[in-house]
Amino acid sequence: MALLSPHVSSVVSAVSLAVLLSAPCWEKLKVARVEQHVAQVKPEDQALNFGIHLLSTCSLLGKRKRRIVVLGINRAYGKNSLSKNLMKTLSKAVDALKSDKKVRTIIIRSEVPGIFCVGADLKERAKMHSSEVGPFVSKIRAVINDIANLPVPTIAAIDGLALGGGLELALACDVRVAASSAKMGLVETKLAIIPGGGGTQRLPRAIGMSLAKELIFSARVLDGQEAKAVGLVSHVLEQNQEGDAAYRKALDLAREFLPQGPVAVRVAKLAINQGMEVDLVTGLAIEEACYAQASAANILRQIISQAKTHPSLIPLFIFIGAGGTGAALYLTRLALFNPNVSWDRKNNPEPWNKLGTNEQYKFYSVNVDYSKMKKEGPDF
């Protein structure tokens, strides 16, 4: 991505292309404008670019295209430090991705060689009025929390320095991969402050309380191998000549996620995240509820698939508890492939009454988000 001219007083954060045709089944990239943000910046912020790369792939199963989204941070002048403008742009990008049902995995990386993110922009912070500091830190914390709460898998590709808020940004991701040359640490105690972007909470959950305390108390910085040894990152790679070994590994992992059921992956993430915050008994109850949700989506997907490919094999559909509007929408689609669809149990109870007790249990209550339904139907 080209840097902005020093004389430019504004920056447009838009979607850019990345040439990532490394797998035979991957199609050419297509541009999709997730968001476009125009912000007034100072000349020294010339390199404040925030690129969102959308990668369309063809499925191994021949189904509809699935996407990996790469959030690339490029603020070379400030070593990708978290400035007001960068946080505003990142926040808008994350908000746009929250509701995009076609997004399957999100990778966060740096486009600045040797740097992931060095935390808050301390030069900018030093110029702030005391009344501005609190809201600024709160904004960083809120954006990092939003990343942690994204419904799809997130991967941090750490190919360089990840210090302070930069490591907190990575800790908010589900998976972290790093180059052996990367440096990671929560170094805030050197400045007589503490981590303020979730580090005191997420680091202990990642590597254990005792070791997290040791690292925060000492402001120690780990390299990639040390980070892997303590469980801070899942994979460590020898850095390549291009300086993007961690990013390439992140892409490999994202490709592994693609063939899996998207609802199942989202619900699995939800079950794990919520389960980690409660006792085991409550966690198992959360898992049970999430399992039922994933199963219902899987059943509905199979029904629709059967209706498309073998309509004669499915003489009857009855939806219970899906809501009048929702069931009608889905069954209208099913009726395109199968004329023998019944959804009016009240006025047409005969088919239901003919079902034996051992058959009625096969019909499940289904809850689905219909708000994003398009012509091609939902993605299960």
Give the separation between CA 52 and CA 133, rounded to whole angstroms.
28
Asked if 98 contacts 142 with a C-beta cutoff of 8 angstroms, the reply is no
Asked if 338 contacts 316 with a C-beta cutoff of 8 angstroms, the reply is no
35 is catalytic: no
Catalytic residue among 165, 196, 197, 198: 165
Is residue 257's pLDDT more than 50? yes
- pLDDT per residue as tens digits for the range 23-73: 322 222 222 223 222 222 233 332 233 444 444 332 222 233 458 999 999
Catalytic residue among 51, 124, 188, 254: 188
Q: Which of 104, 92, 196 is nearest to 155 (CA)?
A: 104
Is residue 208's pLDDT more than 50? yes
Asked if 249 contacts 22 with a C-beta cutoff of 8 angstroms, the reply is no
283 is catalytic: no
285 is catalytic: no
- pLDDT per residue as tens digits for the range 107-158: 999 999 999 999 998 888 888 888 888 899 999 999 999 999 999 999 999 9
Catalytic residue among 120, 170, 179, 182: 120
Give the separation between CA 147 and CA 151, rounded to whole angstroms.
9
| pLDDT on residue 261 | 86
Q: Which of 33, 42, 150, 132 is nearest to 91 (CA)?
A: 150
Query: Among 1-5, 209-213, 274-278, which is the least confidently predicted range?
Result: 1-5
Helix, strand, coil proportions of the chain in percent (round to 5)?
Answer: 45, 15, 40
- If you ran DSSP here, which 8-state letter would residue 339 be given? S
CATH architecture of the domain covering 10-258: Alpha-Beta Complex (3.90)
| pLDDT on residue 110 | 93
User: What does pLDDT average to over the chain?
Assistant: 73
Listed by start position, the domains of the chain span 10-258, 264-360
- pLDDT per residue as tens digits for the range 161-180: 999 999 999 999 999 999 99
SS3 category, 196: coil
Catalytic residue among 93, 166, 168, 178: 168
SS3 category, 226: helix
- pLDDT per residue as tens digits for the range 320-364: 444 545 555 555 555 555 445 444 555 656 655 665 555 544 443
- Tokens linked to 163: 């210090």
